Amino acid sequence: MDARGFVKTGRDLDPNELSKWMRARQPALLETNVRGVFAVGDVRSSSIKRVAAAVGEGSMSIQLVHQFLGGE
């Protein structure tokens, strides 16, 4: 989490705090530091806190989950 209590994802994650599995690949844009766990919308650090953005992130997360489950 960031200093304000929002969940860090993707490039906002500190590489020094990532687990060993994450060092083998870059985290997906909406992926947290927990492998396969994604965060979208207002809970996410650096989000713009707008409904339309949250809806877009939610739909984008579906593709990221499919990639994660498919091993891409």
Look up residue 70 and give its two tokens: 């498919």
Domain ranges for the chain: 10-70
Question: According to the model, what pLDDT value does residue 39 have?
Answer: 94
What tokens appear for 3 in the block? 């200093």
What averages of pLDDT result for each successive group of 10 residues across the chain (72 residues)? 92 79 79 91 87 90 92 62
Closest CA to 67 of 28, 40, 34, 33: 28
In our burial notation (b when 16+ CB lie closer than 10 A, e otherwise), range 26-39 reads ebbebbbbeeeebb
Amino acid at 69: L
